[in-house]
Structure 1
Amino acid sequence: MVFRCAIDAHWTLHFASDGVEALTGYRPDELEGNAVVSLEALIHPDDRASVREVIDEACRGVGRYRVKYRLQHRDGTDRWVLGRGAVVRDEQGERVLEGFIEDVTEQLTRQRLLADAELRYRSIFEDSVIGMFQTSIDGHYLAANRALADLYGYDSPEALIAGLSDIATRLYVDPTRREEFTTLIREHHRVADFESEVYRRDGSRIWIAENAHVVFGPDGQPLYYEGTVEDVTKQHGYRKQLEYQATHDPLTGLPNRNLLQDRLQQALRQAQRRGSRGALAFVDLDNFKFVNDSLGHGAGDRLLVEVARRLKASVRESDTVARYGGDEFVLILGDYEGLSDTLHILHRIQDVVGAPIALQGHQIHVNCSIGVSVFPDDGGDLEVLLRHADAAMHHAKTLGKGQFQFYTESLNVAARERLALDSALRQAIEQDGLHVVYQPKVGAHGQLYGFEALVRWDSEAFGSVSPARFIPLAEENGLIGHLTWFVLRHACHQAATWRAQGHGHLRVAVNISPSLFREKDLAALVQSVLDAAGLPPENLELEITEGMLMGDVQRALAVLKELKAMGVFIAIDDFGTGYSSLAYLKRFPIDILKVDRSFVMECDLGNEAVAITRAIVSLAHSLNLRVVAEGVETASQLAVLNALGCEEFQGYLFAKPLPGPEAAAFLDAAPAA
């Protein structure tokens, strides 16, 4: 009998499985809610006090109990039973008992007979319907009965002993269970109801409960373990089902409030260990009442199930999506890297929730309002974080629904600024609000080798926006491809103009975004831009970062070979600050290494920066690569870099990035290369 009952004077039953009728003679509906008789009344009068004492002690301590006592059957007979259970919290957070009551009358009888006749009747071991065993201390079977062999799927006890040569690795699904088993026996000389998942011979899995003790020799040393094994797969399944029902929403299958508390504690502990932050998002559907009222509660339920599925698919597996109640959901977003990551997931949630949902032949659009609190800044427990997120959510609704708000105003300001910057950047791309500038790349004596093309943005709302600010934003919102092609087109047309004016040796360098680098037809796209501009490939230099080469190596190698076959030059930008793998320098078709400005700025100070720069130059020359130093600002830096063997230089010492006309003037004034 599987049950759940209240912790009260009558052990009032909330639930009883069908097995109760065979055990007591009463149907579940006659016992649930004390409809006919209470569980307390069924316990033999002489056993009631001892049963209550055991369970009360469990309630005060470990929360689990095991007790044998007599139950009075409806027909007047007494049954010996084994009660096992635990104190848990139900869906409303109330403490209740959950467990099993088994009829062990026959087992007790057999055990008494076994104790009386163990020496005279070996057949009791061999013919028992309960699995029995003896194992060595180091984990080998010494003896097993037919019931145990049948339980584990072996033809005979002898086959079981031969087949399970190592119990820890061959029997237990979790190999550490054998160590836990031996630890308990070592400490207490016995184990009771030791539940584990085990493999049968055919590879299937079952759950067993073991009762075992140590057999000692005359000298007090342990000789072996012996005990019994029972199949408790069904009971384990019942318990898991009850535990799941207590911690999950029955409609959506999402964690409920009970489990939400536990998940948040885990996220808080992780944030504390890593010194990071997380977010708790309170999501409320804006148009749910309209769906319920117009299409009915069935449609409303299907809507909630679909929204739950979309929310779960929008976050990482390590995050939590819980149904808080009604049309409210709570998300725990642990260990996100700052505001940008949080905004990204919030936008994704708004998009997936707002996508059309088909219900009863209608396309339903449901928006959501989201309030966000950040932990540990805005609170250190569920109640406080929920209260703050709920307040932020209601503030979002007052602003017009379909929006999100942070509890902390400074984050709201930062979020609004970022959204405004995102909108302005999109508008600038659509309306040609960007322009390209060119920074000269020269030799030690000022001879001009080419230019690096760089994008700039002068916004009416934000003024001159630094590339360090808007390029990462473009990477995040998917606009980086538009930026890259914009620069590439302008740079190629400008270089073609210079070539037509007699400067055929000049190369123009353009940075390629990692996301663009992964496109299948990158080489064909570059070729189309060159053709449109009328620029030969040898006048184009593509700059890529080290990180591009460290993911899908085969894909990167194939793309670079296609570009090299066209005739363009390949440069590694910011070398020395990323992975700096020597293997890819040999393997990939690279022409140029650009020494990062962080080394250039310190190369004349005599510290390790000059040693690193010297090593980079030496390595590059040994591989027949050309070296470019970027960020050169002083004459002393130029002198050191020139002495080390750098061939090209760019930086404010020579010129800032120049608009097209000024770049042309610089070109006219530069000495011949």
Structure 2
Amino acid sequence: MTGPTERHPSPELRLMTEFSAPKRSTILLHQIKASYRESLPLFAASIGCAIIVTLLLWNEYVPHTLLVGWLVSTTLFSLVQIGCIIKFRSVSEQRFSIKFWHSLLLVGSFINGAHWGFSALTMLPDTIGITQLIGLMSVASLLVFSTTVFTTNIKAFLCFVVPPFFSLITHTLITFYNYGYPFLFVVIMFAGFVIFSAYRHYKNRERTLIKELENESLIQYLDNDRRVAEELNEQLTNEVLSRENAEQQLLSAQKTLEQNVEQRTRDLTLTNERLNQQVALRKSISDALVKSQTRLSQAIEASQLGLWDWDLVSGTVYQSAFHQAFKQRELTSTDFINNLQQAIHPHDYPGAKQALSDYLKNKSEAYYVQYRIKDGEGWLWIEDSGKAVKFDGSGVPIRMLGTRRNINAEKKRDEQVRLAKSVFDHTSEGIFVLDSDFCFISVNPAFCDITGYAKTDIEGNCFIELSHTPKKYEVFEQAKEQINNSGQWQAEIFEKRKDGNYFPAWIQLNSIINSNGQIECYAGLLSDISARKEADEKLNYLLNYDDLTSLANRSLFKDRLHNAVNKSRKDDLKYNLIMVDIDRFKQINDSLGHETGDLLLKEVSKRITGAAKSPDTIARLSSDEFAILTQYNAEDAVSSQAEQILTAISAPYFIAENELLISCSIGISLLPADALELQPLLQQAAMATQQAKYLGGNNIQLYHQGLENQSKDYMEIEGELRKAMQNNELEVFYQPKVNVHSQCIESAEALVRWQHPKKGVISPAEFIHIAEDSGLIAEIGEFVLLESCLQAKQWADNGTAEITVSVNVSAHQLRHENLAQAVGNVLKTTKLPENQLELELTESSLMENLSAATALLKRLSDLGVSISLDDFGTGYSSLSHLKRFPVDGLKIDRSFIKDITSKPEDEAIVNAIIVLGHSLNLKVIAEGVESKEQLALLDQLGCDEIQGYFIAKPLSSQDMTTMLLQQKSG
């Protein structure tokens, strides 16, 4: 027995119930709409409560700025929320976004709640009065009111009430000592009550909403079901009528259909047979096309070609993968041209464009061009060619097909071949190719030029048979053996030209190996080394011999001297080294010209060669320095040979219509008596030569230990002289010059003296030559110039006398281009008038470089200073040179004054100099006057000024001042 029957809902009712259950999104949509519809009074009330609270707290402790700012902010955001509510009501459901409007509602509620929370936290007093209580009640009323507004949206409610409750509880905890537990408990109870009540309202409202939605859905479902039933009933009635008509038509058509089916069956059978045949044919064609396409693709890939297909009508271009420069597969005609312009080298693009244009204009049979495209950091050569494959009715191309091919390797090979051909045809070396039997395959033009044979005489003939090299069979057997071993052979040989003349040649042969490792041919090089041989011989001569005199040069002489040193040690042989230095050769060379100087050197070398007895070597070591190396047995023989050389050199020379008299300084050192090594021997001979020059030249000096000591003394004096410059040990003395007619001191020559702390006063004769050799003479000259100008200025300023100071200028100073500037600076510094300074220069120093000296004298003269020639008559200057120099005076050398009263020839020379000077309007000064008789004669001859011990020795500045004062006092 079964229990009491239970009533179960029917399947249809369960389906209706399940179908009518609303979706969550639908519920949320209605809740949001209800919240927007019902929340407007809440935000309006929020503005009212804000105004009430502001009025209540206006006279309280709350700052007005804070209160007004809070009121404005609360009102503003409430109005914004009200605006959103109004906007929501006008939004259509099609443009409705649930997420956006829900988020906007939550944010607006939270901002309003946060404003009220801020007021509770910052404006609530520590103690509560009646005013504050009214404000709290207003806020509490607003919060309670929100429970009725947000019954459909618990999230919006929490966003609105949580900030005020949180702030109120926080404030109560902070000011706990004023409120105590009761108030905190009341606040928490109130918050809990409000939130709980709101939640209960929310759940009840949600259930009600769900029921409403379910009812609406059910009603809609039932209405739809009713309409469907009515439509089905109507369709069923129509269907019954249609079926009856159709049944009759079917019966009549059945017979016709059976007949048609039978006929169609026969037709279909025949058609199927034909279709099967076509399918089989098309399949075979398709397979063939696939195979052909595959073979074509493989062929294109293997050939590394790039294809392009250009439809000129539609303007579309297809190009296969070839290079990254043409990576785009399908493009328009414009893009195709632009792609070419971007890819092609700027120099090649115009040609490519012209080639394409010419073909399209029917000016060429095909489009063909070669150009470069960018490939990484370099350029790649491409061959681009194409033709039209389709034409319109008038013969104009409407479709072109073409290929691109990488020809970079071919271009490089062509360039290499071209270069090789150019080198082969134009090189100055003979190039030839031999077959494996040493027969000529090819020769270049240079080979024909070198040998004198034509190509037809050479090509096809055997090298060995054509060659005239001595012992040629042995030579070429060695060549074959060496080539087989190392692959190459080179040697120097003698060959004969076609005209019968032999010439030295350098030949090289290299074997060319084929892919099988066998010698295919030989490549050879033939060079005519006749010129090189001659150059080597000439170079060897130039390296070892003097080109001017044909004597051995310094290099060969050192080599011979080195051999002599070794022989001296080994065989106990004795040698003497004679060094000859021509005196004052530079002055001769500069005054008479280098050509005359060279002719003189040739004559000197001949005389030395003739005077030297059985010399081992005669050499020219430098411009005017010669050396003779000979064996000797006694010192007398050495001196005798040197004297013969001295005598030979001193004899007159007649060169270029000039009679020249020269002298030389000779120094001798002995091997092994003086030195055992090459370098000391040379130094000792040079030291002896230097001593001979120091003694005035034209003499012979044999090296001895004292010369080395003198050299050490020389170095010691140089060092002390440098210290003297630093320690102000140099002093300027003055030697007066007297006017012969007035008997008055008009000028004085400045002369330097060395006040040595230990040796006393040292005359210039002992240190000036050292100063010149060491280069100190320029510094000493500047010192004398400055001191003498200062002294002359001092004499003029203190009224002692206004005289001219004469300062000697050395040859070393003349070589400096800034001498005129230095003199000008001294005059400017000392403020000495230019006419109170006179510069004395020697003839020989001026003759070193005539053009430079003339220009320098011109600059000095432009400064306004006087210039006089010192030691006139002892140099090599001619009257033409004297005429060119802007000098103001001539100073007769003391050598002519010394014997003027006893030697008529000296008197005649002095008279001639005076007459010459006066004819050129020059002042004439005589130096070295030591007697009354000399003075009287000079006065008689018309000399202008005199200087010498007869007047006074060189005086210190103090003594010179005393002498000038005595002259002034009468």
Q: TM-score range by the shorter chain?
A: 0.3 to 0.5
Q: Greater CA radius of gyration, 1 or 2?
A: 2
Q: Whose relative contact order is higher, 1 or 2, with alpha carbons under 8 Å and at least 6 apart?
A: 1
Higher helix share: 2
TM-score normalised by length of structure 2: 0.32
